[in-house]
Structure 1
Amino acid sequence: MQKKPLETLLNEGRRKIQVTDDELTEAKRRRSLLTACMRRAFPGSTCYFNGSVAHGDANTPLTDVDLGVILASADAEGYGPEGKDALSLMERARDAIRADLEDEFPNLTVEVVGRRRAVLVRFGAPVTKGQQDFTADVMTAIPHPTGVGLYIPNNKIAARWDRADPVSHTLMVHKAIKDTNLVFARVVRLLKHWNSTHSKPLCSWNIKALALGCIDTPMTLIEALQLFFTYGTEQLEEGPTPDPAGVAGDIPLGLPITDVCKRLRTAKNYIDLAIDHETAGRPLSAQHALHQVLPEIIPDIDPADAEAAAEEEAARLVQSVAMTGSAASGLGLVTPRVTSTRAWAP
């Protein structure tokens, strides 16, 4: 088995999961079709793009796309927390989508009933081969009276509307991608994959919101992962992540905050260990440690290399005893194995 630097392993891993050009092209085409529907249904409105496709960090398989429409003043009048809810607007969007797209997508369904924020469009035709379907969330929003952010529907609360600023979110992400020479988008892809294989402690937006607070210059992917898990652990130990735009409330978590912190902290420890191993010239041990964080895209060491890995670990223990008088060093005591594990404590 060829010994590869951590950065090579991470770049190979993120290429495995990043969205393909064909997926992206078709997703954007369908989003454009929906944009035309909304402009016809709401003359004078402004459409905006949000989510992974708009942010440039989509992974494969690609299963959905997001579109928002900001109503012009004439259509927005009378709606909001002190006025009407968004149901009639969502029904208007639904009717326009059905009228315009049913011919091309005969299995199209468009749902409004029971939807919290957005009209759910099911195309009845996947973008990625092997997937069951491809969907879109189409959100009807109205300008906030202050001119900062929007009111977006929330049919699950008494006020029926939430304040948010998804347009600023997308601009922030685009700036971060430019400022980091694409590293931001690439590490977010890896982090979303980590998240999906470790019980989804964070939503995608929480990952990006935390990354916005720490990944703002060009760096290697392994450095970005180390920085994210260090920063994320510190921030969430203080409480939930606030909205980077300063408009909406705290970002909800997928698990209790103590469990989220545990997963972040354990991932950080494995990343630290991988870097330490690589720095000390132990590439097999470094790869094994990184595999614990991203088990499905970073291969574990080959069984044929187990003996060499054990020799690396033995050398590390000898060095540890010589330097500290003790062989105890937490995660570093684990002899490299060839079975996948999760990078969090049970």
Structure 2
Amino acid sequence: MTSEATDRRTPGREVATMTIIDPPIQKTSTVETALLAARTRIEVKREELTEAEQRRSDLAVVLRAEFKGSRTYINGSIAHRDALNPLSDVDLGVVVPDPEGKYGPGKKGPSELQERAANAIQQLRSKYPDLRVEYKGRKRSILVRFGDPVTPGQPDFTADVIVAIDNPTGAGLYIPSYDRWDRSHPEKHTELVQQANAATKKSFSQGTRLMKHWNRKHDRPICSWNIKALALAVILRPISMTDYIRTWLDYAIDELDKGETQDPACVAGPIKMNKTKTEVLQYLRDGRDIFKRALQLEAEGYPILALNELAKFFRDEEVMPRPNQDDVRAMEAQRIKSMNFGAPASAATSASTTSLGERINTRSWSC
């Protein structure tokens, strides 16, 4: 469809006209449609998010009352808008003022502050009778067990509470590491993720949710924050779920092959992998091979086979159901027959471009 745009500000004056050509309508592919459906299945219900946020708010109120002049910050999957169903926990931090400089590396450790925080949280038993608080022997967080799940059918709902102090000589915070302190910048992490969600019109959090689910179903080779830290460098604009997964896998394999992921806030140390580098790369490469095969099969005109590969990719029948296997066998026979007649297979889109043929840019962290 075209239209003529003419400058009509000066009557009787001849001006140039411009033809506007409407962009072609992009048809959603079979793979993309399936990914959008899977994304919906793993989203947390609004009422469950509201309940989790209320519990986080309750914790914040008693912690700020205990530590006068403190501030709280939110972090983790709920703050980042990439929480998975079933919803199991929430994250919160409290930054305690230290005007006399008693705490920090080479000074007092965090245990005294953690004990005060834990005792303050116990006040919430009037609202949550089965609440329990654990902090001794834990590396970083105070663990709060509510004894009351947010998602029906789950055993419990918990909160991880970090007691932190400001770093007076550098960026970020000091957070507990058993009886010592580590540097981190969780407030900056949340800011970066929220900026990415805005810049990509939520496709950052939506694609991240899919990769977190894939990670969960493959024995968690890397932590959720590692997924997001890698995505921050490469998911920079609105993008389809197909392009998110393809782009993220290619980038993650390249980067993790070089070594551990650097902290996007340039404060904490590199992000540790949950398994050996060799094991992590094998999981990711196997996943990429399956996902690319799904895209190739769809490009060749075999959507049922593509969906079958997606089911293998996610390893979760509830999130990505397998198509009818009789249909799969019939279409595979059709594909083999076509190959025997020498019909060339159409090439899948290059991994360095989107489905629209646009090259994906990346951001480099300079720490």
Please tell me whether residue 143 in structure 1 is matched to residue 166 in structure 2.
yes
Whether contact under 8 Å (1:236, 1:261) holds in the other structure is yes
1:26 maps to 2:48: no
Look up the match of 1:81.
105
Match of 1:217 in 2: 237
Q: Which residue of 2 aligns with 1:71?
A: 96
Cα distance between partner residues in 2 of 1:305 and 1:125: 44
Instruction: State the TM-score, normalized to the length of structure 1.
Output: 0.88
Q: CA deviation at 1:306?
A: 2.7
- Could you state the TM-score of these two structures normalised by the residue count of structure 2? 0.83
Secondary structure class of the residue paired with 1:102: helix
Structure 1 CA distance for aligned equivalents of residues 337 and 103 of structure 2: 69
Cα deviation for residue 116 of structure 1 reads 0.9
Measured after TM superposition, the shift of residue 312 of structure 1 is 4.3
Looking at structure 1, the residues matched to 329 and 121 of structure 2 have their Cα atoms a distance apart, in angstroms, of 61
**Structure 2 equivalent of residue 330 of structure 1:** none
Is 1:303–2:325 an aligned residue pair? yes
- When residues 317 and 73 of structure 1 are mapped into structure 2, their CA distance, relative to the original with a 3 A threshold, is same
In 2, the alpha carbon distance for the partners of 1:171 and 1:308 equals: 50
Distance 1:288 1:275 in 2: 11
Structure 2: where are the runs of 5+ without partners? Answer: 1-27, 346-367
What is residue 157 of structure 2 aligned with on the other side? Answer: 134
Question: Pairwise CA RMSD of aligned residues?
Answer: 1.7
Alignment correspondent of 1:343: none
* 2: CA distance, partners of 1:260 / 1:313: 33
Residue equivalent to 1:62: 87
- Taking the aligned partners of 1:310 and 1:174, their CA distance within structure 2 comes to 44
Distance 2:181 2:105 in 1: 6
Q: Is 1:95 aligned with 2:119?
A: yes
- Quote the Cα distance in structure 1 between the aligned partners of 2:222 and 2:105: 29
Match of residue 185, structure 1, among 184, 187, 205: 205
Point out the structure with the larger helix share.
1
Instruction: List per-residue Cα deviations over 1:103-127 (Å, max 9, x = no partner).
Output: 1111111111111111111111111
Kept in 1, the 8 Å contact 2:305–2:328? The answer is no
- Report which of the two structures shows the higher radius of gyration computed on alpha carbons: 2
**Structure 2 letter corresponding to 1:42:** F
Aligned to 1:262: 282
Question: Quick one: distance in 1 between partners of 2:279 and 2:107?
Answer: 40
Percent identical: 43
**Misfit runs of 4+, over 6 Å:** none
* 1:226 corresponds to: 246
Q: What is the Cα deviation at residue 295 of structure 1? A: 2.4
Task: After TM superposition, give the deviation of residue 4 of structure 1 in Å.
Answer: 7.2
Deviation at 1:204, TM superposition (A): 0.5
- Distance in 1, Cα, partners of 2:176 & 2:320: 40
Which sections of structure 1, spanning at least 5 residues, go unmatched?
325-346
CA deviations 1:64-103 (Å, max 9, x no partner) are: 10000111233x731011100000100000111112x011
Residue 14 (structure 1) aligns with: 39
State the 1:176 CA deviation: 0.9
Looking at structure 1, the residues matched to 61 and 231 of structure 2 have their Cα atoms a distance apart, in angstroms, of 33
Q: Map Cα deviations across residues 165-220 of structure 1 (whole Å, 9 max, x no partner).
A: 10111011111111111111111111111011111101000011111111111111
Which residue is equivalent to 1:152? Answer: 175
Partners of 1:285 and 1:313 within 8 A in 2: no
Q: Per-residue deviation at 1:309? A: 2.0
Q: Distance in 2 between matches of 1:45 and 1:315?
A: 70
For residues 4 and 298 of structure 1, do their structure 2 counterparts lie closer, same or farther at Cα, with a shift above 3 Å needed? farther
Map of 2:314 onto structure 1: 294
- Give the secondary-structure state (helix, strand or coil) at the position aligned to 1:66: strand
Check if 1:171 corresponds to 2:170.
no
Corresponding letter in the other structure for 2:164: A
Q: Paired residue for 1:246?
A: 266
Distance 1:147 1:238 in 2: 28
Alignment correspondent of 1:332: none
Give 1:106's aligned residue.
Answer: 129
The one-letter code matched in structure 2 to 1:144 is N
> 1:267-323 deviations in whole A, cap 9, x for unaligned?
11112111122122110111112111112121112023134321343156347x565
Cα distance in 2, alignment partners of residues 47 and 72 from structure 1: 11
Aligned pairs, number: 316
Work out which of the residue numbers 115, 137, 143 in structure 2 matches 1:120: 143
